[in-house]
Every structure is written in C-alpha cells, then in structure tokens.
C-alpha cells in the first residue's frame, strides 16, 4: 500500500487550480502555513467524490459538515495547522479534526496570504467596495511582494491604499463595507474625539510641534485596507482611514490620536464573503471539465464573535439549552 499510495485525481486538480490562481510563492512564508496541509488517498475501485467545500475557518463543526455533504477536499482560507504536531490525540480539537478527516479520506488545502497578496485577490476585492461614489479611485499596494513574483502576478503584495479623486464622507465608506461584507448590522469605528479644552486654547509660542487633531475628519481622501488583522501592515502607511477585520486597542488609540479613523468588522467578517463572491465562481469555472464536480460553501462557518444587546439577551443564555 505504501509504495503505491497516491492522491486522488480530483484532489490533484483542485490543488493545481488553486496554485495557478493564487501561487503559494506569494504567501508570507516567514510565518504562514499554506498549501496542501492534509492529503487523502486514491482508493482505486471506489468511485471518487468530486465535491470541494470552501470555508474561512476549519472547525470541528465544519469538518463534520464536510463529511455529511460528501466533500473530498476542503479549501480553508485560514490554515488549521500552523505549527508542528508532536502527537495526534482526541484531547485537542485541532488534532481531532486531523483524525476525523483522515478517517473519512478528506484532503485540506489552505491558500491564506497567497489570496491576500494576489492581484484580484482578497485585498483587491475589499478595495473594489470603494469604487463608485461618483468619484475616481487610485489604488496602490501597501507592501509589495518581494521579487521575483510568478509570471502574470506583477503588482502582488499585501494591503491596498485607495485614494479618492475627492473627499468621501465616512458614512458612505462604512455603508459600502457593511453592504459588501454581507449586510452587516454592526461595525466598530474609532475616531478622534473633540476636546473642548484643546480646541479653545491658544497654541504655545514655545511649541514647534503642530497642534494635535481635535475632532474626527468629516470626509476621507485615502483609505488603507487589510483583510484580517492589519495593525502591523499599517505601521508605515499614512491614510485618513484604516479598514481591517480587527485591531488592538493601543494601535487604534494611537491612530485616533493622529487624527485617523479606524473601521473594524471582526476578523473573519472581513474575509468570509470572498469565498462566495469570488473563489466559488472561480473554482467552478476552473473545474467545469471535471465530471460531477461541485464547489460548495460551508454553512457552519461563522465568526466566533457576536454582538449582544444586553437589553435583549438570547433566552438560551439563561437556561441549559445550547444555541
């Protein structure tokens, strides 16, 4: 068995397509873990499954869903294995996923930051949401991918800086992202607060530094964008507004003191809709010649956080029922 074991043809096709669209060479290899993270086995006589399931995060419930829906390959945007495993037991949820998928002969591929960096990938998709507003936009890459990049992927890199031809109100930008990311009802916004004592005081003649901002900008000319967690990427990027999934308290505080606006939507909310809007149709088209091939979206995948209204808490929070 060991000498003849090989990956199913369908798994090979999915991996080849993913690598052609989002080359692994574009990923941030210094810390990321992309590629074929778990392989499955060609069982020969048994009819191979030709269903690939897309998910943002590979959790136990998503793995169980893949089994129910007869998927043979999972493409998970976030890698479910980041570091080496010294054992594989049932005690750890991550290791349970490995065992469960191996038992059911399901492969796992993760593109992660390769999708972020690729032209037309995750961050360009986020930047596309700012097109419109009856204003021309210009975008640049915040951190270009180090050369050499694969042929056809010139302009790859992390994050995008969008410049408007004229100012756009903050509310319009927030509305664009709330709609584009799946009709979100709640987002988080940090902005400079007006300080009456600073506003009314005269600048000291002894100070050579410009006065600190005293209130939020009414309109925006530049927006820096990064899917997921963008704090590190934004450190050397000057913009009026920063859009990302999550940002630490101190990073956001610093930006507001510099007169900037921060919009966060929760980490995976900044990414999940890309699977449905972009990756699913791309994979369907690329696999159209494969008989019976299906590309489905996980129904179990969801951001781990919810916003609760403390005046209207869910009833299950007060009894023994699980949601």
CB neighbours of 322 closer than 8 A, spacing ≥ 6?
A: 316
DSSP label at 132?
B
24 marked ligand binding residue = no
Angle at 54 between CA 245 and CA 264, to 5 degrees: 5
Task: Consult the annotation and say whether 116 binds a ligand.
Answer: yes
169 is in an annotated binding site: no
The residue length of the chain stands at 323
From the list 51, 49, 50, 38, the residue with the least C-alpha distance to 108 is: 38
- 25 annotated as belonging to a binding site for a ligand: no
What is the torsional sign of CA 213, 216, 220, 224?
Answer: positive
| 148: preceding bond cis by omega (within 30 degrees) | yes
- For 48-82, give one letter per residue: b (16+ CB within 10 A) or e: ebbbbbbbbbbbeebbebbeeeebbbbbbbbbbbe
Known binding residues are 78, 116, 267, 271
Known binding residues for a divalent metal cation are 78, 116, 267, 271
């Amino acid at each position: 068995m060991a000498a003849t074991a090989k990956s199913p043809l369908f798994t090979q096709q999915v991996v080849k397509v993913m690598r052609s669209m989002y080359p692994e060479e574009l990923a941030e290899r210094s810390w990321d873990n992309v590629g074929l993270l778990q392989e499955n086995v060609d069982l020969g006589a048994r009819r191979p499954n030709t269903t690939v399931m897309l998910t943002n995060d590979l959790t136990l419930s998503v793995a169980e869903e893949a089994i129910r829906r007869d998927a043979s390959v999972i493409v998970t945007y976030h890698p479910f294995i980041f570091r080496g495993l010294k054992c594989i037991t049932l005690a750890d949820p991550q290791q349970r996923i490995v065992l469960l998928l191996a038992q059911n002969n399901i492969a796992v591929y993760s593109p992660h930051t390769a999708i972020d960096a690729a032209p037309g990938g995750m961050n360009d998709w986020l930047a596309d949401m700012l097109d419109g507003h009856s204003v021309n936009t210009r975008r640049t890459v915040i951190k270009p991918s180090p050369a050499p990049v694969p042929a056809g992927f010139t302009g790859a890199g992390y994050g995008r800086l969008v410049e408007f031809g004229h100012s756009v109100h903050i509310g319009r930008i927030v509305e664009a992202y709330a709609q584009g990311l799946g009709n979100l009802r709640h987002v988080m916004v940090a902005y400079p607060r007006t300080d009456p004592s600073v506003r009314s005081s005269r600048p000291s003649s002894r100070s050579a530094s410009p006065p600190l901002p005293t209130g939020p900008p009414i309109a925006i000319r530049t927006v820096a964008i990064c899917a997921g967690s963008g704090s590190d990427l934004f450190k050397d990027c000057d913009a009026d507004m920063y859009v990302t999934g999550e940002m630490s308290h101190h990073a956001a505080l610093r930006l507001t003191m510099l007169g900037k606006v921060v919009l966060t939507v929760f980490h995976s909310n900044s990414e999940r809709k890309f699977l449905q809007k972009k990756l699913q149709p791309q994979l369907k088209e690329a696999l159209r010649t494969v008989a019976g091939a299906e590309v489905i979206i996980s129904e179990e995948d969801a951001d781990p956080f919810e916003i609760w209204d403390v005046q209207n808490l869910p009833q299950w929070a007060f009894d023994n029922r699980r949601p």
